[in-house]
A and B are shown apart, each in its own frame.
Chain A
């Protein structure tokens, strides 16, 4: 136990093996956090508890909730939000921003290639079977030219800081990455609760996301369209991310549609309005590939629009992200990112990749099977943190079970050294005190036809369970406001 002379941090315990974002090894507060630390220290625990409650009710009243279904009535819960913000200084941010753009661009070129000439596969830089065996490779997309040449308009790149103090990319999400609305809500909530702290820091805004998104999406409008009509398509109000869909539509000032609001005639897409049909040119879709068009993909999908894919193939409508992007955010493709970046851009990765062992390669499989306690084992095609085994948490029996699973289907697994996510002081309700919790950062990068945008901030996700490394909100993670400082 260490007393830091500051009431709300007085019981903060530092584990020296972890990288603490605000305290140096010797226990002193890092420069950039000093002012913040003193400002928060000015509160008593009681003050802080009250502020925390207020922030919660702000989320509740804004209806930023997700539903838990009970017997009679669905109960609503808010996503846990921590009032102590994360700060990223200009220099570090430059790495993240440049690195995110680099990866997004490389992934876009990679997608174009594997759906056209397949050069990278023919030259053996990325193994052919990696792509051909992937469920997310859509043969329907072969030879299709997406409007503006963009596949992954929106990329959510998850970045962590390891114990060595360097940033690493943990994964690329280029299907329908979500979470951006929480970035803005977190900022709003923090401003409502503790507006005074913003007087001491020059922080970049995060509210410019929607306007940039709309601008950049519209640079990829179909040919021959002058002023594009853009919409957001959602699976509907019972989807867990519905708040985000409505938030984005509202802040972009465009219609929020469901599949049943659209129809296709002569390969053009229309929406049904009170004044009759109106043409739609750009669709930001928040529906998975398999559901967008029952004629082309899953025939039982009620969420999609029959004929949409044909209209897309003709170049009459833009889909963002393009169908078939999922093949490139596969965890197995991730491991080839340094090669992919080198191949298309002739650059070195600006943000590091975590070293990865491919269980599909016999020698690496052997290494993995022998070193399970030191590794994280991941299925290559699961999203949301499911199916991950962390080696040093497994009992002997469990290790044997994992070994068996891997040996049975080596292609399905990759392994990485256990990365230690950095920790950030996080207020824990039950203990009424700050404690170290692991965090990551999801960044949001938007690619347009000739320019790109990275949201200066991103979503810092917190694993609220002590020692837990999995930060996804579906697994009980919380989040923090994230400040990118101006120079």
Chain B
């Protein structure tokens, strides 16, 4: 496979994954805030700030009043904002386009439909009353794409590269979401006796990662800071966990590196190293210093991406 095309497919995977997390973050935060138990979590300003924080467009000014319609538009449908969902899907499609000879017709058609759905979504409807419909459609369509990727592509290096892109991105997004909600939980503590460890924001966090129900099944208890972070970071059986994403990246990179020789400069080696670091960690080791953990992990993911670029996508 061409190195350039591999790079495009890698990013196609990343953009698809990214748009899904963004859409769900909008949805869950907005709608769970409507009847949140404490005043701060219920505040619209709080929610909008959290959204901007998650996409990396942090509003530093503490006093300025954010306009809901503007924020929603900026994150979802604004052609001008580089991180918007519409641009993510546009890039995903462009990347798919350049690799059209390698992917299945079914996958291409699904991406194409997805793009046209978003392109044709009326902005006015979206910002006034379309938030639920739009975000649910986006998450469903990404699920379809995932199905087409798994179900119609040859499970060879093309597949491995797309999956690596998706899983690296997933780890990235989950860690960003954890960061955003951790931040919210810090801010929300104290208001109406909401304790950090039992904050309402932990449930929201789990829902943002589509992991709430399964978390309840696993622990049979109301989410706390410890159980939520353990589930989303370290539990390899939770499909959205950082651990699972790293495991996936590791197994897919093995497809690209069939030699299995000892090579401490390979990306596979680095992924394995990062992965085994977390495999046998106690959550208590992380929970004490979550800020530090998030920074380290983000750095490590960037390192993996950079190394991968050098090893495989050099053209």
Given contacts A271-B2, A272-B315, A274-B6, contact A72 B112 (CB under 8 A): no
* Residues on A with beta carbons closer than 8 Å to the beta carbon of B187: none
- Inter-subunit contact A273/B101 (CB<8 Å): no
B87 vs chain A, min Cβ distance (A): 11
Name B115's closest neighbour in chain A (CB-CB).
A63
Known: A257-B2, A260-B4. A246 touches B105 (CB 8 A): no
B312 at the interface (CB under 8 A from A): yes
CB within 8 Å for A62 and B109 given contacts A72-B79, A272-B4: yes
Q: Are B79 and A274 in contact (CB under 8 A)?
A: no
Query: Which residue of the partner chain B has the closest CB to A258?
Result: B4
With A258-B4, A271-B2, A272-B2 as known contacts, state yes or no: A246 contacts B101, CB within 8 Å. yes
Question: A454 on the interface (CB 8 Å rule)?
Answer: no
With contact pairs A63-B109, A271-B2, A272-B4 given, residues A260 and B79 touching in the complex (Cβ less than 8 Å):
no
A63 B101 Cβ-Cβ under 8 A: no
Segment with Cβ contacts to A, from B92-100, B211-219, B281-289: B92-100
Distance between Cα atoms of A88 and B312 in the complex (Å): 51
List the B side residues contacting A254 at CB < 8 Å.
Answer: 101
| Cβ of A288 under 8 Å from chain B | no
Q: Which of B102-132 contact A (CB under 8 A)?
A: 102, 105, 108-109, 112-113, 116, 119
- Check A63–B112 contact: CB distance below 8 A: yes
Q: Kindly report which residue of chain A lies nearest to residue B2, judged by CB atoms.
A: A261
Closest A residue to B315 using CB positions: A272
CA distance A255 to B1 in the complex (A): 7
A43: interface (CB < 8 Å)? no
Interface residue? A17 (CB, 8 A): no
Within residues 14 to 57 of chain B, which ones have a CB less than 8 A from any CB in chain A?
none
B108 to A: closest C-beta gap in Å: 6
Binding site secondary structure of chain A? mixed
Q: Smallest CB–CB gap between B176 and chain A, Å?
A: 28
The residue on A at minimum CB distance from B79 is A72
CA gap between A236 and B256 in the complex, in Å:
26
Given A63-B112, A255-B2, A261 and B315 touching (CB < 8 A)?
A: yes
Contact partner, B2, options A236, A246, A273, Cβ 8 Å: A273
**Binary interface profile of B, 273-315, with partner A (CB < 8 Å = 1, else 0)?**
0000000000000000000000000000000000000001111
| B3 at the A interface (CB under 8 A) | yes
Known: A63-B108, A272-B2, A272-B3. A250 touches B101 (CB 8 A): yes
| CA gap between A242 and B105 in the complex, in Å | 15
Contact B79 A73 (CB under 8 A): yes
User: Which residues of the partner chain A approach B312 to less than 8 Å between Cβ atoms?
Assistant: 274
Question: Does chain A have a CB within 8 A of B157?
Answer: yes
Q: Is the CB of A237 within 8 A of B97?
A: yes
In the complex, what residues of B have CB within 8 A of residue A61's CB?
A: 109, 112-113
A380 on the B face (CB < 8 A): no
Contact residues of B between 223 and 278, Cβ < 8 Å to A: 256
Complex interface residues of chain A between 236 and 262 (CB less than 8 A to chain B)? 236-237, 242-243, 246-247, 249-250, 254-258, 260-261
Residues from chain B with a CB closer than 8 A to the CB of A255 are: 1-2, 5, 101
Return chain B residues, CB-CB under 8 Å to A260. Answer: 4, 315
Of B1, B102, B119, the residue contacting A273 (CB under 8 A) is B1
CA gap between A60 and B100 in the complex, in Å: 15
How many angstroms between the C-alpha atoms of A232 and B266 in the bound complex? 31
Determine the chain A residues whose CB is within 8 A of the CB of B2 once the complex forms.
255, 257, 261, 271-274
Known: A246-B100, A274-B312. A261 touches B119 (CB 8 A): no
Q: Report the Cα distance A257→B94, complex, angstroms.
A: 16
Q: Which residue of B lies closest to A263 (CB)?
A: B315
Q: CA A243 – CA B315 in complex, angstroms?
A: 23
A51-89 vs B, CB cutoff 8 Å, 1 = contact: the mask equals 000000000111100000000110000000000000000
Q: A453 CB to closest chain B CB, in angstroms?
A: 21
List A contacts of B108 (CB < 8 A): 62-63
Q: Decide if B97 touches A242 in the complex (CB within 8 Å).
A: yes
How many angstroms from the CA of A386 to the CA of B102 in the assembled complex? 36
In the assembly, what is the distance between CA of A60 and CA of B79, in Å?
Answer: 22
Contact B113 A274 (CB under 8 A): no
Closest CB-CB distance, A393 to chain B, in whole Å? 40
Nearest residue (CB) in B for A261 is B2
Residues of A within 8 A of B79 (CB): 72-73
Q: A249 to chain B: which residues have CB within 8 Å?
A: 101
Pick 23 A–B contacts, CB within 8 A, sort by A: A61-B112, A62-B105, A62-B108, A63-B108, A63-B109, A63-B112, A72-B79, A232-B101, A242-B97, A247-B101, A255-B1, A255-B5, A256-B100, A260-B315, A261-B2, A261-B4, A271-B2, A272-B314, A273-B2, A273-B3, A274-B161, A274-B256, A274-B313
A residues contacting B by CB (< 8 A) are 60-63, 72-73, 232, 236-237, 242-243, 246-247, 249-250, 254-258, 260-261, 271-274
- Counting from the closest, the 3 A-B pairs by CB-CB distance are A249-B101, A250-B101, A246-B100
